[in-house]
Chain A
Amino acid sequence: MEPDVSIETPSIIRIAVLPIGTIPPPLLRDYHSMLLRHHTIALSAISSFYTEHQKSPFTNQPWESGSLRFKFVLGGSPPSPWEDFQSNRKILAVIGLCHCPSSPDLVSVTESFNVACRSYSSALVRRCFAFCPGDSQLEDGDKKGENLILFPPSDKQTQEFHLQTMMQDIAASLLMEFEKWVLKAESAGTILKTPLDSQASLNSEEVIKAKKRRLGRAQKTIGDYSLLAGSPVDANAHYSTALELARLTGDYFWYAGALEGSVCALLVDRMGQRDVALEDEVRYRYTNVILHYRKSFIQEIAQRVSPLSFELEATLKLARFLCRRELAKEVVELLTNAADGAKSLIDAKLGYQRKAAFFCRQVAQLYLQQDNRLAAISAMQVLFMTTDAYRIQSRASVSKVSVNNETGTRQPDAGKMHHHSIVSLFESQWSSLQMVVLREILLSAVRAGDPLAAWSAAARLLRWHYPLITPSGQNGLASSLANSADRLPSGTRCADPALPFVRLFSFPLHSSQVDIVKRNPAREDWWTGSAPSGPFIYTPFSKGDANESSKQELIWVVGEPVQVLVELANPCCFDVDIPPNSAKVITLSGIPTAVGPVTIPGCTVHCFGVITEHVFRDVDNLLLGAAQGLVFSDPFRSCGSAKLRHVFVPNISVVPPLPLLVANVVGGDGAIILYEGEIREVCINFANAGTVPIEQAHVSLSGKNQDAVISIADEALQSALPLKPGAQVTLPVTLKAWHVGPVDSDNAVGGGRNAGETQEDQKTELALHCLFTMQVQIWPVSNNGDPQEKESVVPPGRRLVVPLQICVLQGLSFVKARLLSMEIPAHVGDNLRDEDIETESNTDRLVKINPFRGSWGLRFLELELSNPTDVVFEISVFVQLEKSAKEDDSSPVQDSPEYEYPKTRIDRDYSARVLIPLEHFKLPVLDGSFFTKDPPPGTPSSSRHPSFSEKNTKAEINGLIKNLISKIKVRWQSGRNSSGELDIKDAIQTALQTTVMDVLLPDPLTFGFRLVRNGSETKAQSPLSKGSVLSHEVTPMEVLVRNNTSEAIKLNLSVTCRDVAGQNCAEGADATVLWAGALSGISMEVAPLQEARHCFSLYFLVPGEYTMVAAAVIEDANNVLRARARTASPNEPIFCRGPPFHVRVTGGEM
């Protein structure tokens, strides 16, 4: 079936026009159009070329009025199986067109022409027209046989005249060939068959039948040739015979054919004279034709071949003939019938979807051969019918189709119909066909001026077939997309997505660490358990179900921005905002406006000037297909993106507005930089960014290094509640930096994430999880009285996690600690225990030494510190004294238990030493409680060592040291707001370990000297010197022995006096000091915690410095004393020595 059929088609001779060699397309078009002018050649014009070899079978040839008519088929056409049935379907002549300048070798031209002619066995006349030959070609041309005709270069008119002559020649030759053929056919009796006839060998019955039919068919064919030869009268005569014979043999198909021919003959005969009678005749006969075509339908072979197309053709021919305004109704009826018939041909009822699509495409190609807009529109419409069969339908039509086919019962195809399903990918593999059809749709749409259709076709072509399209082809498609978009109004939507490929990447769970917590109305502290406990956000021990459900559900809040991450891929070679052959992840954000469940099936993309909807599922199917090898390539993989990954799509529900708390750390969100041991207050600002007030809030800590947070001023937050929308509250948090060092190895692990930092500053993240529980007032006030209703629906709470990133830098580094001892001899004065001095020493700094009292065995803890940082540190030492250490608690001065030493400044990159005097730590009483248990009474001496078991001693000592150390605090300050405390407990402990007993325990006996004077004398001498002694004067003195233990001690006291050289100057021959009273061997007993005194007098002969030393041997020492003295054996005498006292003797009144 051809689109331009008419009743007169059987009288038109088909000539194939073939380009031979290379001809530029514009020239070919020119030559073709020159030929087209000669579509009708009058018989009168060809008589000069015509020679009658035999008697012509066309006896009634109208030589005066008749004509031959041609149809030039450019490019030729394949032979039709029906050409025996309708001779006008044969290619009866071949005209080659050759452009000599582009094909210089005439021999090869002739050869290729002959080759081309070979496929047209039905051609009776062959001519090759060679235009514009060169001189040499003209010379050669004559020898190249009669079929090659050279058109010498000349003006256009001459050339056309030449062409006309040649066409007349062809017409004459054809006429003569027709005569020959008819004569042969009449005598030989050719067998004529159509595809309707049985293809297999005939059985005997059929042979007889065929023989009978043969005559009728021959007559019909002769009629056809007569018609082609321009002799309708002869044709009519033959057709009449044929009709007669066909009717007799029941050859309905050929009957219809002959009848059709006769109508054509009638019309050709009455050329130009139309009247009602003729019309009625044509209508009557054609109705008959249609009827007989229908009759010839054979059920058995209907699968293979059907005369349906002839029936339709006849209907169309009649419709075209009758097509006038007055007959509109009739024509419409005919066309409706034809359309129904065509539908039945195309319809799935026959199951010949693909064949129908093939024919549709052929029709579209014919339309496309005509270079005009209307034909292009028709072509486009016809091509659209094929899209289903080739699985390239536009998404706009898919929804309808899939619904229609849902009810279909064709089981093997059931899955195929779902375009989106993976199965459809199978049939999508006829890419060669699909691409051709899409390209034709694109071409026809461009020609037809339908930019949207063109865009859609180009988009489909590019999206589904990009791997098969060359880069230049891809660029071409991109430009046609752009061109189409230029003609479309902006904001046009198209159902078919182009590029890029879009797939879901992830759903960010919650923006700004705001978590939503379901509330349990039965519990006051409903948030517990919901907060991540421990350092890991994910704990493997938490209930699996809870974890799953939280993964599957995503809650969005009305009015709060949400985000979805999608990955885009552009596998093509041009730029689509994404560089060629690359992929990238972008964030899409939006704000939910209504409450309810939300699904995200795809996204809208504005690309190439058109808005399209990209459905994620399509891409997922494509990727799945790619993974199974059904599709050419995975666009994401070819773009270097990760391979197929499963993105879990959570159930998203949108809930009514919730309060939204936004936190920021005052002073920037970066890491808080602290030096080791630094204590700092950090303020965190909370603002209600939502639209609902916050009524309840609870702050809790979680994560590592929770100890670093010393305090949170929770009350500041609580007092600010309810926090109205837009309101702010500041929450001070006190932080203390931990110690950086090998001890905190786990901190170092935490800081390992920021590997790029220097080793000295370890970054550690501390998350302060502030759990904000918010009760939202969403009910009217009147309902507040009904608690039941309120509890039935509880809006969820929310958790805000404020990460506190703390970076601890190494501050002052401790080098070593040493214990130093210092001895300052006391002066023997009037009064050993002067209250004034005592008070003064209390109020003043602790290091101040009373010169009269001296400081024997004063010990200092020396700390060596270095400052490796680039700031200056100031160190101050505080010592805390226990109140009980003082005898009189009532003294108001002692309410302040801390003593501060002068500050020590340590510059950067310097070290310094800090001295801490360890004076005031001595215990007041030396008793057994310190040495744990008393020894068993039976073994008072020998079991002394075992009794003080090492373990117990150590534990006691450690306890004591700890107690001591806790009283010493070394604080530092750097700059204005950086201050902290050094953590040097361990260092002090090691330094004190060995000597702690000496530091802490008092000696069992303490000794003191003083001058004994009369009150008047003292006063008189006071202006001179308070503690001075004159020579040559009897100086009464006394030695004071104090028992520091809780038991009475018997002792044997002796006093010595030495001069500057250290010689005992009270004894011997040259003694310089005379004395009265006992100086040695003084036995006395001192009650516990009491003092005993022994008086004596000295007479100094020589002025100078003298040293008084008291010593005692304790008699009957108990175990406590022995332990304190660390005696080796029980029999060893315990010897106590007091500190030296200086006596300055000045020259008296000599």
Chain B
Amino acid sequence: MIVCVSVVGHQNNPLYIQSFTDADDALKLHHVVHCSLDVIEERVNNPKKSGTTLNEAFLGLLYPTLNYKVYGYLTNTKVKFILVTTDLDVRDTDVRNFFRKFHAAYVDAVSNPFHVPGKKITSRTFAQTVSNIVGSYGLN
């Protein structure tokens, strides 16, 4: 189950962060997302070590925390997508699919002429799309 998705901007500024749990663990998830930026920075700065190719937006598993797994995705504009899931058994393809859809939704959201780049995404349509994507995650 996906518990949290987040968009983090070019300057590591949070643009969108949404948790999908009933419990009151938003702060914990904020921390998880914030910490995962370390790993993303590491990967971006040392692409050889981590083995990812330059053209690959999907960063793979960033790190497992106590009970979450965190996946990352980096767009060409250095906007980061972060996915936090509680599933222990995660198929890479599922995550890739998720990020692809999520990226499309993000592009739609920032193409809105009323969106100010660098500002938090407040679009309700985006939120709706994201929750649809999260809901459909892992179903097929």
Please report A residues at the B interface, Cβ cutoff 8 Å.
Answer: 78-81, 195, 199, 303-305, 350-355, 358, 361, 410, 412-413, 415-416, 423, 426-427, 429-430, 432-433, 436, 628-630
Contact = CB atoms under 8 A, between A and B. Distances in A.
B11 A358 contact: no
B75 interface: no
Given A426-B11, A430-B14, A354 B26 contact: no
Nearest to B28: A78
Given A305-B63, A416-B11, A432-B26, 7 more contacts: A352-B42, A358-B31, A416-B12, A427-B12, A433-B27, A628-B118, A629-B116
Contacts of A355: 35, 38
B30 A353 contact: no
A80 B42 contact: no
A559 to B, nearest CB: 49
A303 B47 CA distance: 13
Interface of B: 9-14, 26-27, 30-31, 34-35, 37-39, 41-45, 49-50, 61, 63-64, 66-67, 78, 116, 118-120
B30 A432 contact: yes
B35 A358 contact: yes
B38 A354 contact: yes
Contact of A303 (B14, B42, B66): B42
Given A78-B66, A412-B41, A426 B31 contact: no
Contacts of B64: 81, 195, 199, 304-305
B11 to A, nearest CB: 3
Given A305-B64, A358-B31, A433-B30, A353 B38 contact: yes
B29 to A, nearest CB: 10
B42 A423 contact: no
A432 B118 contact: no
Given A303-B39, A412-B44, A429-B13, A630 B27 contact: no
Nearest to A632: B120
Given A351-B41, A426-B9, A426-B11, A78 B35 contact: no
Contacts of B13: 426-427, 429-430, 630
A629 B118 CA distance: 8
Contacts of B30: 430, 432-433
A354 B42 CA distance: 12
B27 A432 contact: yes
Given A433-B30, A629-B116, A630-B118, A427 B11 contact: yes
Nearest to A432: B30
Contacts of A305: 63-64
Contacts of B14: 429-430
Contact of B34 (A358, A423, A628, A629): A358
A433 B31 contact: yes
Which of B35, B38, B66 lies at the interface centre, i.e. has the most chain A CB atoms within 10 A of its CB? B38
A974 B116 CA distance: 73
Contacts of B44: 412
B38 A351 contact: yes
B66 A80 contact: yes
Given A355-B38, A416-B12, A426-B11, A303 B31 contact: no
Given A358-B31, A433-B27, A628-B118, A303 B63 contact: yes
A423 B45 contact: no
Nearest to B23: A119
Contacts of B11: 415-416, 423, 426-427
Contacts of A199: 61, 64
Specify which of A355, A412, A426, A433 lies most central, judged by the most chain B CB atoms within 10 Å of its CB: A355
A439 to B, nearest CB: 11
Given A423-B11, A426-B12, A426-B118, A433 B66 contact: no
A309 to B, nearest CB: 13
A629 B39 CA distance: 28
Contacts of A413: 41
A81 B61 CA distance: 16
A423 B42 CA distance: 20
A350 B35 CA distance: 13
Contacts of A432: 26-27, 30
A195 B68 CA distance: 12
A630 B119 contact: yes
B41 A79 contact: no
A436 B44 CA distance: 29
Contacts of A361: 31
A429 B66 CA distance: 26
Nearest to B33: A430
Contacts of A630: 13, 118-119
A109 B125 CA distance: 41
A351 B34 contact: no
A426 B12 CA distance: 7
B67 A79 contact: yes
A93 to B, nearest CB: 20
Contacts of B43: 303
A409 to B, nearest CB: 10
A355 B34 CA distance: 8
A81 B66 contact: yes
A835 to B, nearest CB: 106
Nearest to A82: B66
A78 B64 CA distance: 14
A629 B120 CA distance: 9
17 contacts: A78-B67, A79-B67, A80-B66, A199-B64, A303-B49, A304-B63, A415-B11, A416-B11, A426-B10, A426-B13, A427-B12, A429-B13, A430-B34, A433-B34, A630-B13, A630-B118, A630-B119
Contacts of A352: 35, 38-39, 42
